[in-house]
Structure 1
Amino acid sequence: MAYTIDRYPCEGSPRLGALTLHPEPESVSRARRWFRKFIAPYNPVCSIDDCVLMLSELVTNAVCYGRSENPWLVRVEWFREGTSLRVEVHNPGFPASVRLRHPDADDAHGRGLLLVDSIADSWYSGPSHLGGTVVVFVVADAWPA
């Protein structure tokens, strides 16, 4: 199996869903598809297309830059916190390697975090509680108050 899906959060948890993906290019489209499917029943009022774009960029980065000597996975989790949506992407890479770049117009890569920075209300990266790195974006007012 290329991935696993956790549809139902634990009782009392703000987690709306989670995916575990293998570090392969196909996982990016899987993440987009499953996020879109599993966020829909929660009826967010924010742009799902914007969220899917940001998720796609972060999963792409996780697949490209996550590193481990052992087999590893990319973990995606999304949460409702009040009226906000928080999306986390975990990988075994080094937290210090996450950086916002400002690529030249002719650079083929380096725009992922720039897009997230432009669209999300906030974002951050750091050590993951799973080990490695987590990159998070937050969309405020994803649900009515």
Structure 2
Amino acid sequence: MAFVIDRDPCEGSPSLGSMTLHPAPESVPQARRWFRKLIVPYHPRCSVDDCTLMISELVTNAILHGRSDEEWVVRVEWFREGTSLRVEVHNPGFPASVRLRRPDADEAHGRGLLLVDSIATSWHSGPSRFGGTVVSFELADAWPS
């Protein structure tokens, strides 16, 4: 896994950090560990456990649904925007294929975005500035004003 801390890479939003992950199952726990380690110095008052759970779900989805004919990576970035925390997960999948599902009780998969929808203040999907898809979530009041 590569790890980079960027400053201000996205439209004037202060970046708190980013990581680049291989599209492999072992990247999911790596993403949780690195995010937890890198966000703690910023002292967010939002639940870091909730954030790592949502990151875990979005990285899993990115790995399962990302597609490219070339070697590819999953990129995770997090930003402070005023009092809010925004986390983005980028992959080379198709933006139109991201949708909130309501799986039946006996289905083993399909609850990741439902979980994000229930915890986050808001979430969004669309074209990534790196090509492919970005799915992001925001938590309001992650820091005092």
TM-score (norm 1): 0.96
Partner of 1:30: 30
* Percentage of matched positions with identical amino acids: 73
Say which of 2, 5, 13 aligns to 1:4. Answer: 2
Structure 1 residue 94 corresponds to structure 2 residue 94:
yes
Q: Which runs of 5+ in 1 are unaligned?
A: none
Say if 2:13 and 2:81, in contact at 8 Å, map to a contact too.
no
Runs of 4+ deviating beyond 4 Å: 10-13
Secondary structure of 1:79's counterpart equals strand
Say if 2:2 and 2:21, in contact at 8 Å, map to a contact too.
yes
Secondary structure of 1:88's counterpart equals strand
Say if 1:7 and 1:38, in contact at 8 Å, map to a contact too.
no
Q: Which runs of 5+ in 2 are unaligned?
A: none
Provide Cα deviations, 1:13-67, integer angstroms capped at 9, x if missing partner.
Answer: 5000000000000000000000000000000000000000000000000000000
Partner of 2:114: 114
- 2: CA distance, partners of 1:14 / 1:132: 23
- 1: CA distance, partners of 2:5 / 2:77: 11
Residues 42-53 of structure 1 mapped to structure 2, 5 A cutoff: 42-53=42-53
Q: What letter corresponds to residue 7 of structure 1 in structure 2? A: I
Q: CA RMSD in A?
A: 1.3
How many equivalent residue pairs? 143
Q: What letter corresponds to residue 22 of structure 1 in structure 2? A: H
Secondary structure of 1:75's counterpart equals strand
Say if 1:125 and 1:135, in contact at 8 Å, map to a contact too.
yes
Q: What letter corresponds to residue 32 of structure 2 in structure 1? A: R
Structure 1 residue 54 corresponds to structure 2 residue 54:
yes
Structure 1 residue 123 corresponds to structure 2 residue 123:
yes
